[in-house]
A = this chain, B = another copy of it.
């Protein structure tokens, strides 16, 4: 081994993130952009991600680095990193020497993602259940009530958004940060996929809110974690199945 690297890994074992707060500097990105995030790579990642998720860059949209650089005012290097991260997230597909484009999903993958999410969410819901305070349960119940309202107003978009908010309200304090991260990534994928193939099974939403209430009841009465997991998993798996029934063509 090279003796040169002997001084590595010795410094500052604490290494915690320092709360830096330094403004002033480059002329390109507007000042507020920097305050929100950190590096331009980070900002670019957030920007591209939000644009993909809100549909500005639809499925199949080609993300050309030079073009994006000119558009956002940053150079290609931060954009490259952002695209790589989005690639890891599964939101864009990158081909060497060809380019990157927003991922295109087939409808069957929505079901796949829902099934994966069912498992993760079931587990997360179960381990978070004993940690929830009555206040938090009430807040979740209130979100569910707003879902009913969105349903009455025939607002599928709001319903979907609230659905996500509902589930995150349950496992937002999940002790396993990695699990939270996986859930967020999977929800993001799902949100984007639903933009590709807009899927909405009519009868499903009504049952969904009923199941939400059931889950909350189980949590409230301190039910067994295994049962909560089973119910929460079945809840989302039922959505996947409903989708499968509605679109057997794939």
Q: Which residues of A contact B (CB under 8 A)?
A: 2-3, 5-11, 13, 15, 17-18, 20, 38-39, 41, 60-62, 64, 66-67, 70-71, 77, 80-81, 84-85, 88-90, 95-98, 101, 109, 112-113, 115-116, 119-120, 122-123, 127, 176, 178-179, 181-182, 189
Contacts and interface: CB of A to CB of B under 8 A. Distances in A.
Interface of A, secondary structure class, is: helix
Contacts of A15: 95, 98, 101
Contacts of A7: 64, 67
B67 A5 contact: yes
Contacts of A96: 20, 38-39
A179 B116 contact: yes
A123 B113 contact: no
Contacts of A13: 60
Given A119-B120, A119-B123, 7 more contacts: A3-B62, A8-B62, A18-B98, A88-B88, A115-B123, A115-B127, A119-B122
A9 B62 contact: yes
Given A9-B66, A84-B81, A98-B15, A178 B60 contact: no
